[in-house]
């Protein structure tokens, strides 16, 4: 059973460009979470999705950021018009169910660098 997959692992963008980060959850998992990790900081919750539904996007900036988890295919975190402050590691996690006590399995992360 493959773990959570993310691609690309490293992404370099210039200011103003768009970044698309992909996450394929573990087989059998229908819940996906995105977290952002700034250098030497803990992970910060961004958004929680189920298939075709955004459940909670309270941690995501209101502008430039969007997320989706279509019926088919991976979950996508999209950042438009990137700025240097968007440079971070973005991790997605998945779980078979939601709720406290259900382990979230993390992917290897995408390290975004904005020049």
Partner 1 sequence: GENVEQHPSTLSVQEGDSAVIKCTYSDSASNYFPWYKQELGKRPQLIIDIRSNVGEKKDQRIAVTLNKTAKHFSLHITETQPEDSAVYFCAATPTGNDYKLSFGAGTTVTVRA
- In the complex, the residues that contact partner 1 under the rule CB under 8 A are 4, 31, 33, 35, 40-45, 48, 55-56, 58-59, 91, 95, 98-109
Minimum distance of partner 1 from residue 77's CB (angstroms): 16
Residue 71 neighbours by CB distance under 10 Å: 6
Q: Return the number of the residue (55 or 76) whose C-beta is nearest partner 1.
A: 55
Q: Which is nearer to partner 1, 6 or 86 (CB)?
A: 6
**Judged by CB, which is closer to partner 1: 3, or 17?**
3
């Amino acid at each position: 059973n493959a773990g959570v997959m993310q691609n690309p692992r490293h992404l370099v963008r210039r200011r103003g460009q768009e970044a698309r980060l992909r996450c394929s959850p573990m087989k059998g998992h229908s819940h996906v979470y995105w977290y952002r990790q700034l250098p030497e900081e803990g992970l910060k919750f961004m958004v929680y999705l189920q298939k075709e539904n955004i459940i909670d996007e309270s941690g995501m900036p209101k502008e430039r950021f969007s997320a989706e988890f279509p019926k088919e295919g991976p979950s996508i975190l999209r950042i438009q018009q990137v700025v240097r402050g968007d440079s971070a590691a973005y991790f997605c996690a998945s779980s078979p169910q939601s709720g406290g006590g259900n382990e979230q399995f993390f992917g290897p992360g995408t390290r975004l660098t904005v020049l």
